[in-house]
Amino acid sequence: MGSQGQVETPKFRVELSDYSVSVDEWTRAQNAPKSELPELNEAQKAVAGKFGISEEKYARSVLASRYGMRRLRARATRLGEEVERILRDVSSESKVTRVVADMARERWVIVLQTPTRQVGIPVSREIGDDFLDFPTREAIEDLKARVKFGLEMGEKGISPK
């Protein structure tokens, strides 16, 4: 965050293959004033009607989904920024181009551009979340080891698993 409350845009793209909604996000959406609810498009109104859900209740679930996506996008950005810091030490010519939150497969995928090719590094959700939730020295070292291994395999033309 900048001094004016502005969020810096990362130099890489963040992609969400799916998302989740926490209990706190769901509760926040259920308690949000009506003025904060998103306007439903015609397709969303049709879905609400098809399932016998009020438009307001459906709008609250859409709002909760937005909260969940915002949280996951912020986490992916933090993870990508940490990998950029790691790259300064291990491969200064490489850069993060994308971070994919692939939660259905319980992983993050960090896509790097190296001097010779693009490399996708899968990072287990456990390793990524350990860093994001408790950035201990051990969590940072686990992430660093995964990035180094992925770079080594990628430069050999082997897709790291």
pLDDT at 41 over 80: yes
- What order do you get walking across the sheet with 95-102 strand by strand? 13-16, 95-102, 107-113, 118-124
> pLDDT category, 6, cuts 50, 70, 90?
very low
Q: What is the dihedral sign for C-alpha 68, 112, 84, 12?
A: negative
Give me the mean pLDDT over the 71-83 stretch.
Answer: 94
Does residue 60 contact residue 37 with C-beta atoms inside 8 Å? yes
89-146 pLDDT tens trace: 888 889 999 999 998 899 999 999 988 888 999 999 999 999 999 989 999 999 999 9
Residue 37: predicted pLDDT: 96
> pLDDT category, 2, cuts 50, 70, 90?
very low
Query: How far apart are the C-alpha atoms of 130 and 142, rounded to whole Å?
Result: 9
56-71 pLDDT tens trace: 999 999 999 999 999 9
Burial status of residue 23 (CB atoms within 10 A of its CB: 0-12, 13-18, 19 or more): exposed
Give the max Cα distance, the chain: 56
Residue 155: predicted pLDDT: 67
This model's pTM is above 0.85: no
Residue 3: predicted pLDDT: 38
